[in-house]
């Protein structure tokens, strides 16, 4: 008799890599020392974190989290809808409204839930989700979730940041059908920035709404870290923006911001908001303090942008294929699986932590080491990483 667990017993891929000592994932970090992490007793420079502004280790952010625990405890023990809304949620939402320049904001427990909840609550019968092919997995899951609730909801995908293909896609949708263009502001693996001015123009022409995922853009792009709209000097290009607190904000959780009436609707229809416990006090206070720091200390964002330019230039000069990144996400595109894994291990042994990325997170043959940087890193550390990457990459035939 077969069991649903047969597939688990038969699946040995991870075991094979573990036996050979080559398994790269789930390595527990035992502690932090500035830009370094300790793993298995080794001290490695963290070149793979999304803690872009270093705020998860900022003493002011840590203190705010501790105070919130003292005042409110460790959990909200309920959904936002019922007993799980604190004054801290509403205060943070008010600040986010100012930060994004929208009318209202709503916090969820994770960024993933923001995408799932917002998109699925807005989509209705015979409506269209129009999505960039390299959008984050949570956006794809939001589309699947929406279709699970109503099969008539359609998903159309266009080539990455390709505005001609987006236009072709929009033209192919029956006139008058409601549609939502969904795009990352900064693409999480490639570090590319969406062509927001053209996308927004197309949205107006074809009467589509725009949903912008700013997970990697808030605190990263724009003079004041206000994201893709500020970067393109184009406010109000998106009807809805979402952000997560798990990256520049040094916490966990996320939010969506937009017109007050739309946010109120999402509040009452987003299942991942209604049927899951709300963001806990420590994370709310940490995100709130981080937002205050981002607003008051734009020099952190500017230092991050300077580091991004340094690393883009440094890897390009050393012969790496880094795609079209413009941000502190700098992919070292390696192509095939085996050289990518070897490159990861070589860098790890030399004291550098990066993230190896394989399909389905990236298209086949576009395996990469995803490197990313923090505003707190020093030039000497970064120079050393560039040189070691060049040495090891050359030995492995990744660069000439
Ligand atoms: C573009 C993008 N959107 C959404 C998310 C989900 O955010 P969270 O980690 O807060 O759930 C991520 C996280 O990796 C992301 O990269």
Pocket probe for ligand 1: among 131, 183, 244, the residue whose CB has the most ligand atoms within 8 Å is 244
Average pLDDT of the residues in 127-132: 98
The whole-angstrom separation of Cα 282 and Cα 315 is 38
Q: Which of 217, 264, 14, 242 is nearest to 121 (CA)?
A: 264
Cα of 242 to ligand 1 centre, how many Å? 10
Cα of 248 to ligand 1 centre, how many Å? 12
**pLDDT (tens digit per residue) in 33-73:** 999 999 999 999 999 999 999 999 999 999 999 999 999 99
Q: Which atom of ligand 1 is nearest to the CA of 113?
A: 11
CA pseudo-torsion sign 330, 333, 334, 338: positive
Cα of 2 to ligand 1 centre, how many Å? 36
Provide the pLDDT for residue 42.
96
361, pLDDT greater than 90: no
**pLDDT (tens digit per residue) in 78-124:** 999 999 999 999 999 999 999 999 999 999 999 999 999 999 999 99
209, pLDDT greater than 90: yes
Overall size of the chain counted in residues = 400
Find out whether 128 and 171 touch, Cβ atoms under 8 Å.
no
Provide the pLDDT for residue 326.
97
Q: Strand, helix or coil at 66?
A: helix
Provide the pLDDT for residue 235.
83
Tell me if the pTM is above 0.85. Answer: yes
**pLDDT (tens digit per residue) in 320-336:** 999 999 999 999 999 99
Q: Where are the alpha helices (DSSP H) in the chain?
A: 6-10, 13-19, 59-72, 87-100, 111-122, 137-149, 163-171, 196-205, 228-231, 260-269, 271-274, 281-296, 298-317, 337-349, 379-395
The whole-angstrom separation of Cα 235 and Cα 226 is 10
301, pLDDT greater than 90: yes
Q: Would you give the DSSP letter of residue 226?
A: B
Question: Which residue's entry shows tokens 């690393």?
Answer: 311
Lining residues, ligand 1, CB within 6 Å: 110-112, 115, 136, 138, 184, 188, 213, 215-216, 244, 246, 254
202, pLDDT greater than 90: yes
134, pLDDT greater than 90: yes
Residues contacting 293, CB < 8 A, separation 6+ = 53, 55, 58, 60, 61, 300
Distance (Å) of CA 152 to CA 58, 128, 143, 156, 182 = 47, 9, 12, 13, 18
């Amino acid at each position: 008799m077969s069991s649903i667990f047969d597939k688990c017993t038969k699946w040995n891929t991870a075991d094979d890599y573990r036996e050979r000592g080559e398994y790269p994932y789930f390595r527990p970090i035992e502690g932090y020392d500035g830009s370094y992490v300790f793993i298995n007793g080794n001290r490695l420079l963290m070149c793979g974190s999304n803690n872009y502004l270093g705020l998860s280790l900022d003493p002011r952010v840590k203190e705010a989290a501790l105070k919130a625990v003292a005042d409110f405890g460790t959990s909200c023990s309920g959904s936002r809808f019922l007993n799980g809304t604190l004054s801290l949620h509403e205060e943070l939402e008010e600040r986010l409204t100012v930060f994004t320049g929208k009318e209202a904001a709503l916090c969820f427990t994770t960024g993933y839930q923001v995408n799932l909840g917002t998109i699925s609550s807005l989509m209705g019968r015979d409506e269209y989700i129009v999505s960039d092919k390299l959008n984050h997995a949570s956006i794809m899951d939001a589309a699947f979730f929406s279709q699970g609730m109503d099969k008539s909801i359609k998903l159309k995908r266009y080539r990455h940041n390709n505005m001609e293909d987006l236009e072709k896609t929009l033209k192919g949708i029956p006139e008058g059908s409601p549609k939502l263009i969904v795009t990352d502001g900064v693409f999480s693996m490639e570090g590319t920035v969406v062509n927001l001015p053209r996308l927004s123009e197309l949205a107006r022409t074809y009467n589509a709404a725009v949903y912008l995922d700013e997970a990697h853009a808030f605190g990263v792009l724009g003079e004041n870290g206000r994201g893709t709209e500020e970067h393109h000097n184009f406010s109000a290009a998106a009807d809805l923006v979402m952000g997560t607190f798990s990256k520049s904000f040094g916490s966990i959780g996320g939010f969506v911001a937009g017109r007050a009436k739309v946010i109120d609707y999402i509040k009452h229809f987003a299942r991942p908001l209604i049927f899951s416990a709300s963001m806990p006090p420590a994370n709310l206070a940490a995100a709130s303090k981080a937002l205050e720091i981002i607003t008051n200390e734009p020099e952190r964002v500017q230092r991050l942008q300077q580091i991004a330019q340094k690393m883009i230039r440094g890897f390009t000069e050393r012969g790496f294929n880094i795609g079209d990144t413009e941000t502190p996400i700098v992919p070292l595109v390696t192509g095939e699986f085996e050289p990518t894994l070897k490159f990861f291990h070589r860098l790890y042994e030399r004291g550098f932590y990066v993230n190896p990325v394989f399909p389905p997170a990236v298209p086949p043959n576009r395996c990469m080491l995803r490197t990313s940087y923090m505003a707190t890193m020093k030039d000497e550390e970064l120079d050393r990483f560039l040189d070691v990457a060049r040495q090891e990459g050359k030995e492995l035939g990744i660069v000439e």
